[in-house]
Structure 1
Amino acid sequence: MSVAKVIEVISKSKISFEDAIKQGVSRASETVNEVTGAWVKDQSLEVSNGKITSYNVLLKITFVLKASSKGKSK
């Protein structure tokens, strides 16, 4: 049996939405083990003087929780 958890991560890039997604997943994978998927919940832009300055994404990152040793016999 496996149990998964979902966390939200906000990521920004000056390059593109795709780059923001890659950065968000990569960074989450550095601190959370067993990342199995991601869902882009929202996208937005920051604009200054009529030009895009930042591509922002809100990601839902899914990861599998470690098996508990509770209830296992030794």
Structure 2
Amino acid sequence: MSTHEAKIYRKTELVGTSSVGFDDAVRRAVARAQKTLRHVQWFEVKEQRGRIDEGSIEYQVTVEIGFALE
């Protein structure tokens, strides 16, 4: 047997929003996940889209967050 323990991961999907840009929306989603989930280790951007409301833009990203289970 290997001395390395195999890890099991779980994924969850979040939608981050920002009035600044897509990058900020991703950072907000990851930061929020880290407040609730332990062992957050990676993310993947699944979708980017935006909403226009009276001339202002809201950037939206769907992010899959991966974290190791204990």
Give 1:71's aligned residue.
none
Q: Percent identity?
A: 28
5+ long unaligned stretches in structure 1: 67-74
Residues 1-74 of structure 1: pairs in structure 2 closer than 5 A: 1-49=6-54, 51-66=55-70
Q: Between Structure 1 and Structure 2, whose CA radius of gyration is higher? A: 1
The Cα offsets for residues 22-63 of structure 1, whole Å up to 9 and x where unpaired, read as 0000000110000000000001000134x3420000000000
Q: Which amino acid aligns with 1:57?
A: V
CA contact under 8 A between 1:17 and 1:55: conserved in structure 2? yes
Give 3-state SS (helix, strand or coil) of 1:33's partner. coil
The alignment covers a number of residue pairs equal to 65
The TM-score normalised by the length of structure 1 is: 0.83
The TM-score normalised by the length of structure 2 is: 0.87
